[in-house]
Amino acid sequence: MALLTYLKSELSGLFDLLLPPTCAFCRAEAPTPSPAGICPNCLTQLLPLPAARCSRCALPYPTEAGGPHLCETCLRRPPDFSGVVAVGVYQDLLRESIHRFKYEQSIHLDHPLGTLLAQRLAIEATDFRPELILPVPLHPRRLRERGYNQSLLLARRLGKELRVPTEPRRLRRIRPTPPQQGLPLAARQRNLRGAFTLSAPLRGEKILLIDDVMTTGATLRECAQVLKAGGAGEILIAVLGRAARHH
Ligand SMILES: [Zn+2]
Ligand SMILES: [Zn+2]
């Protein structure tokens, strides 16, 4: 299945070379698409994170007052990651594109979305040189249902762009979690306890941990905790969309 996914992704790249370039998001003809393969109109619809956000988990604040500072959750319980880089706020066009990528088999979107994320990292995390890229894993049952792990596709794309090794099975999901929607962070956190494990210990490597969306951050907090306990060095999170609190 992984091979098939890979071939599909590579073949869609081949078609891109044969046909006139079209925007990966809106499919309009784009004579001069951006490096990510997106037309200028779609690019302007991607809302970057506001400057006023949590300096740790990147939670966007509703107003610019106060500038960047720690949110209440990070103040009470500092996460094991040092920061979060995101393409933008999880809404509108970015949200629709992530949805297509994740649930509608549009795996070719790994290229534009991964490139956008690599561009963000180049701007916001210039000092962070990861030694290992790890995707947030899906439980094997979920993986069979969906056929692919969107976070792994993204991690591979970033690995290529940054020339950093990606290990799909280092961090594993050993327990499925019940649906988390509507639950507060503390309850989500409880549900996730023991859901992840490392297949082999780490030796202080700087880790770039990849997921498609960060909502409450419960999953990424739990993964980072498992990585840290397993010997990871600094951990930075990279996601496509960062949800504001009321999403
Ligand atoms: Zn477009
Ligand atoms: Zn925070």
Percent of the chain with pLDDT over 70: 92
50-242 maps to which CATH number? 3.40.50.2020
CA 197 to ligand 2 centroid distance, Å: 24
| Per-residue pLDDT reduced to its tens digit, 39-68 | 999 999 999 999 999 999 999 998 877 677
Flag whether pLDDT at 140 surpasses 60. Answer: yes
Flag whether pLDDT at 1 surpasses 60. Answer: no
Ligand approaching nearest to the C-alpha of 77: 2
Q: Where residue 103 falls among pLDDT bands split at 50, 70, 90? A: very high
Q: What is the 3-state composition of the chain as percent helix, strand, coil, each rounded to the nearest 5? A: 40, 15, 45
Mean pLDDT over 109-138 rounds to: 96
Ligand approaching nearest to the C-alpha of 70: 2
Q: Which of 126, 127, 154, 151 is nearest to 137 (CA)?
A: 151
Ligand approaching nearest to the C-alpha of 54: 2
Ligand approaching nearest to the C-alpha of 27: 1
Mean pLDDT over 21-30 rounds to: 89
Domain boundaries, the chain: 50-242
Handedness of CA 111, 125, 122, 96 (dihedral sign): positive
CA 25 to ligand 1 centroid distance, Å: 5
Percent of the chain with pLDDT over 90: 74
- Residue 5 C-alpha from the chain's centroid: 19
Identify residues whose C-beta is under 5 A from ligand 1, the ion. 23, 25-26, 39, 42
CA 224 to ligand 1 centroid distance, Å: 35
